[in-house]
Structure 1
Amino acid sequence: MSWLFGINKGPKGEGAGPPPPLPPAQPGAEGGGDRGLGERPAPKDKWSNFDPTGLERAAKAARELEHSRYAKDALNLAQMQEQTLQLEQQSKLKEYEAAVEQLKSEQIRAQAEERRKTLSEETRQHQARAQYQDKLARQRYEDQLKQQQLLNEENLRKQEESVQKQEAMRRATVEREMELRHKNEMLRVEAEARARAKAERENADIIREQIRLKAAEHRQTVLESIRTAGTLFGEGFRAFVTDWDKVTATVAGLTLLAVGVYSAKNATLVAGRFIEARLGKPSLVRETSRITVLEALRHPIQVSRRLLSRPQDALEGVVLSPSLEARVRDIAIATRNTKKNRSLYRNILMYGPPGTGKTLFAKKLALHSGMDYAIMTGGDVAPMGREGVTAMHKLFDWANTSRRGLLLFVDEADAFLRKRATVSVTKPLATMGRATEKISEDLRATLNAFLYRTGQHSNKFMLVLASNQPEQFDWAINDRINEMVNFDLPGQEERERLVRMYFDEYVLKPATEGKQRLKLAQFDYGRKCSEVARLTEGMSGREIAQLAVSWQATAYASEDGVLTEAMMDTRVQDAVQQHQQKMCWLKAEGPGRGDEPFPS
């Protein structure tokens, strides 16, 4: 029955094929069931080879089935089979679409992976190209330095030869002129001497007579002057003594003159003290950028340049670790904004090994913030004795008169800001670790004056303390600190930056400019700086600067003024040995000084 309803199962019964094509219907064929087969119209040309036998059998079977009682069941069965086939086709279509979507996602993933690989390869190629270009730039820079150095040496040699030739010609000319001038001078002197001797011999009697007449006339004039002066003085004194009004007026005038001199002297002293307290530099201040009246009168050009200078970067010329650099930069920005807003300044403690850039950063901080700085040393306070309290008050009075704001930097602050407690005599020092030294009464009074003047924050001055031993500070000093910054020894990266900076400042720049007796041998400067940075572990920035100065001095001490790589290695070895000896001395001072000299 399946062929009757157009169902064509495959060989395995999995699906149905399309029904066989029917011939096109003719007009008036709707009632084909009532018409006979013999009444069909003749087919067209393209159906001339069509066999209608199968259709006739199908029509006959359809008429039989129409009259059969199973017609409805067969039709339902055929519909169910058709629906089943359609559902199977739809499920296969969904599977095909899912497979297509999965294939697309796989293709997108593959494309993304290829793109990532391409980007990674391009990044690697860019990095390699950048490294190669940097290497070429460094090589070009080194070649330019070498060529410039050779050109400077050649120019210097030519200039020296030219100067030597000119000097030799000038010396010969001067010697010849001096010789001729000497001969002419000797002939002139000899002729004048002969003429003078001849004239004196001829006029000897006349000259002696003139001398006698002048002496007699001078003697008579002096005697008459003495007689006249004595007569006038005697008559004047007699008239002054006999007139009591003149005597009284004279005594009163002398008295008023003495009073005026005494008053002027005391007024001058008071004015001088006022000017010293307000405008002059206090005795405790060793260095300051604040402009005084005396300095403005002595150096007006330098003072005007300082007034017109722009604020500098707080970290210009200062090499620190990245974390410490970020922290001190925040402090510089906060201080600058505090100065702009006229707010209260914060007090800062900078501690760490010597030579790590504390003083240099304090100066840069003041210049960056548009403030003046004043530097004092704690060791200058103790020798002042009783005058320390007065000097301390003068210092803070002077600081409060600053219009731009003053950064007061106290170097070696632990020298006079140490603990006020006294060590017991009966208790051995060996059991106390670091014992607190007894301070004098004068130093204690000076410390109390310092604590009194720094009890509250000020918008006039900012206190910055620097110490190598902050654990010795009095507790009241620690209570006045708002920010504590540890300046530790530089790491290898910072040491390399320091070595390159000081090598360029003290060696490379003087050698390339040609103004000094200093030359450089041919070697890899960058590699040598990296090697020196690796060998100078544990050294401070000041020690590295001293090492660069020793390179310059070694070149000056050589015969030809050329600094070689061997000379640099020798000075580096000496510097390392000296640093090790210092560390041995530091360890020998006591427990806790060598292993951990500075708290972190």
Structure 2
Amino acid sequence: MSWLFGYNKGQPAPPDVPGLPVPPPPLGGDGDGGDKNKPKDKWSNFDPTGLERAAKAARELDQSRHAKEALGLAKMQEETLHMEQQAKIKEYEAAVEQLKNEQIRVQGDERRKTLNEETKQNQAARAKVERENADIIREQIRLKAAEHRQTVLESIKTAGTVFGEGFRAFVSDWDKVTAAAAGLTLLALGVYSAKNATGVAGRYIEARLGKPSLVRDTSRITVLEAAKHPVKVTKRLFSKIQDALEGVVLSPKLEERVRDIAIATRNTKQNKGLYRNILMYGPPGTGKTLFAKKLAMHSGMDYAIMTGGDVAPMGRDGVTAMHKVFDWANTSKRGLLLFVDEADAFLRKRATEKISEDLRATLNAFLYRTGEQSNKFMLVLASNQPEQFDWAINDRIDEIVNFALPGLEERERLVRLYFDKYVLQPASEGKQRLKIAQFDYGKKCSALAKITQGMSGREISKLGVAWQAAAYASEDGVLTEAMIDARVADAIRQHQQKMEWLKAEGKGEGKDPERNPLLPHLQGTPV
């Protein structure tokens, strides 16, 4: 290596090279005439030819085509390594975000620990008792029907014998004719009694086993349903009693209010007290129906859902149908939560001209059956326009709860809930054709909560379904941030259009649309 850097002992001093310092002359004269004992200069053995060769090699390497390719290849390798590191970071962020969602659910479960502890006791025994009671009831009905049939047959046989004897005696003895007439009277009485008894038995069976036509949905198990879906019914019997607020996102103040209602209802059920009737009002999609179902299941009751829009088309049959609903409700062993959705559709003021005579009669039947509080059923009304209720309806309400549109904090919880349910969980399980592009999920959920002002919980849940559908419709099944933004922008435009229609309807009726609970945000919603 000494040839490259120019260290050759015994060589003359190198010439001056530009950029290098000039070595000082040796002390003690020129050439080798100096004192040999003096130290030699450090530049005396430097050879510049090594530097010249190195500079020449560097210039040739710089001009070489392969050198540029090698530099480009090194650059590409560095970029690839950087992209791999970024992908790993995004995967870590996705895992952290999912962990945050899981922590939120865990915290919610901890807050509901008290209610969960109350709901876990005596479930298996209660289900067994209910099944045993159902078997006893069916056996009693069968025995009563057999007794009625035997009574009718014996009455006919006896009457026939008496009639024959009376007819023979008719031509021989007037006293026997009189006895025959009495027998005929007894026969008529027996037939009439059997007919009435059969009708009573039929209504009893219908009330016990049949679902009324006005009831759209119920958790109460019927014989027909048990025969059609035995597996489903068995699962329902052995299912755990749910938390009243599981899956329900409400404001802290409203959550505390409905939690107190749930605890009071459950204690009323256990102590066989009188149930309180509740009115829940507010815009559509704010969780009224969902909470009513959860309240019934938490309290160990059955629920039945009917809607006010089904009553008016029944005309004259509405009164009979309404009585059947309450007869059926009073036969429930577990207690029944009767939820009337869109209650203002038939519980309107009777003084108005818009209500027909048939609907007025049906309303009177409803008022008659709800005049006193019951330990058999609990009445829960839901309405978007409670101001239209007849005053007698207001008199039957014990508690009023306002389900308002979700605020910013509740909207963010809802967005995270449905993003996790419809996007993160299916993508992490790998069972469906759905993947997620790399972006900050938590930041995106917070941003969506801000721009969805005025939207209900149901509308936000539909956003989650729309995101999942967008991924399924794509070629590679990958949900990108741009796809999410497009679905949200479309949903906001539709929401604004609906609000404009509602605003125009309010003006047409001479109302102030700003006072309508469905119109909290008509303008200024960013897309």
What TM-score do you get using the length of structure 1 for normalisation? 0.53
Aligned pair partner of 1:307 in 237, 255, 271: 237
Q: Which residue of 1 is the match for residue 319 of structure 2?
A: 389
- 1:422 to partner: Cα distance: 2.7
Quote the offset at 1:297 in angstroms. 2.1
Query: Secondary structure in 2 aligned to 1:462?
Result: strand
What's the counterpart of residue 552 of structure 1?
Answer: 468
Q: Match for 1:339 among 244, 248, 269?
A: 269
For the structure 1 residues 508 and 382, does the alpha-carbon distance in structure 2 shift closer, same or farther, using more than 3 Å as the test? same
> Which of 243, 259, 263 lines up with 1:329 in the alignment?
259
Residue 562 of structure 1: aligned partner: 478
1:594 aligns with 2:524: no
After superposition, residues 308-457 of structure 1 pair within 5 angstroms as: 308-423=238-353, 438-457=354-373
Tell me what 2:94 maps to. Answer: 142
Determine the C-alpha separation between the residues in 2 that align with 1:142 and 1:384. 54
Q: How many residues align?
A: 334
Work out whether residues 213 and 321 of structure 2, in 8 Å CA contact, stay in contact via their aligned partners in 1: yes
How many angstroms apart in 2 are the aligned matches of 1:277 and 1:421?
A: 33
**How far has the Cα of 1:274 moved from its partner?**
3.4
Please list the CA deviations of residues 157-180 of structure 1 after superposition, one character each: whole Å capped at 9, or x if unmatched.
xxxxxxxxxxxxxxxxxxxxxxxx
Residue 476 of structure 2 aligns to which amino acid in structure 1? D
Shift of 1:145: 8.2
The correspondence for 1:583, drawn from 499, 502, 523, is: 499
Larger radius of gyration: 1
Match of 2:457 in 1: 541
On the 8 A contact 1:451/1:476 being kept in 2, the answer is yes
Instruction: Identify if the C-alpha distance between structure 1 residues 593 and 365 changes in structure 2 by more than 3 Å, giving closer, same or farther.
Output: farther
Match of 1:106 in 2: none
Q: 1:315 to 1:593 in 2, by over 3 A?
A: farther
CA distance in 1, matches of 2:351, 2:398: 24
Residue identity matched to 1:303: V
2:415 corresponds to: 499
Distance 1:393 1:359 in 2: 23
Q: Residue type of the partner of 1:377? A: T
Closer, same or farther: CA 487–446 of 1 in aligned 2, 3 Å = same
Structure 1 residue runs of 4 or more that deviate by more than 6 Å after TM superposition: 263-270
Residue 278 of structure 1: CA displacement? 2.1
CA deviation after TM superposition for structure 1 residue 267, in Å: 8.9
Q: Please tell me the residue identity of whatever aligns with 1:343.
A: G
Shift of 1:578: 1.0
Q: Structure 1 residues 270, 451: closer, same or farther in 2, change over 3 A? A: closer
Question: For 2:464 and 2:275, how far apart are their aligned partners in 1?
Answer: 38
Aligned-partner residue type, residue 224 of structure 2 = L
Contact 1:586 1:593 in 2 (8 A): no
Q: Secondary structure at the match of 1:559?
A: coil
**What's the CA shift string for 1:518-547, capped at 9, x where partnerless?**
111111111111111011001000000111
Amino acid of the residue matched to residue 231 of structure 2? I
CA distance in 1 between counterparts of 2:198 and 2:374 reads: 32
Once residues 454 and 448 of structure 1 are traced to their aligned partners in structure 2, the CA distance between those partners, rounded to angstroms, is 10
Aligned position for 1:522? 438
8 Å Cα contact 2:348/2:389 also seen in 1: yes
Partner Cα separation in structure 1 for residue 387 and residue 317 of structure 2: 27
In structure 1, how many angstroms separate the alpha carbons of the residues matched to 2:435 and 2:92? 20
Residue 340 to residue 469, structure 1, CA distance change in 2 (3 Å): same
1:373–1:408 CA contact under 8 A, matched in 2: yes
TM-score by length of 2: 0.61
Q: Which runs of 5 or more residues in structure 2 are unaligned?
A: 1-88, 99-192, 521-527
Equivalent-residue separation in structure 2 for 1:265 and 1:420 (angstroms): 38
CA contact (8 A) 2:282 2:383 kept: yes
Q: Matches of residues 224-235 of structure 1 in structure 2 within 5 Å?
A: none
Structure 1 residues 593 and 529: CA distance shift in structure 2, 3 A: farther
Query: 2:207 corresponds to which residue?
Result: 277
- Output the CA distance in 1 between the equivalents of 2:280 and 2:428: 38
Identity %: 79
Tell whether the 8 Å contact from 1:345 to 1:462 is kept in structure 2 after alignment: yes
What SS class does the counterpart of residue 589 from structure 1 fall into?
helix
Q: Distance in 1 between matches of 2:197 and 2:373?
A: 35
| Whole-angstrom distance in 1 between the partners of 2:352 and 2:336 | 34
Report SS of the residue matched to 1:463: strand
Contact kept? 1:318, 1:361, Cα under 8 Å: yes
Structure 1 residues 439 and 271 mapped into 2: Cα distance closer, same or farther (>3 Å)? same
**What is the identity, as a one-letter code, of the residue corresponding to 1:374?**
A
Paired residue type of 2:397: I
1:129-167 Cα shifts (integer Å, max 9, x gaps): xxxxxxxx9995624789xxxxxxxxxxxxxxxxxxxxx
1:210-234 C-alpha deviation (Å, 9 max, x unpaired): xxxxxxxxxxxxxxxxxxxxxxxxx
* Offset, 1:596: 2.0
AA of the residue aligned to 1:598:
P
The answer to whether the 8 Å contact 1:499/1:544 transfers is yes
Q: Is the 8 A contact 1:583 1:594 kept in 2?
A: no
Measured in 2, the distance between the counterparts of 1:497 and 1:410 equals: 28
- Alpha-carbon contact 1:408-1:464 (below 8 Å) kept: yes
In 2: Cα distance, 1:142 partner to 1:514 partner: 15
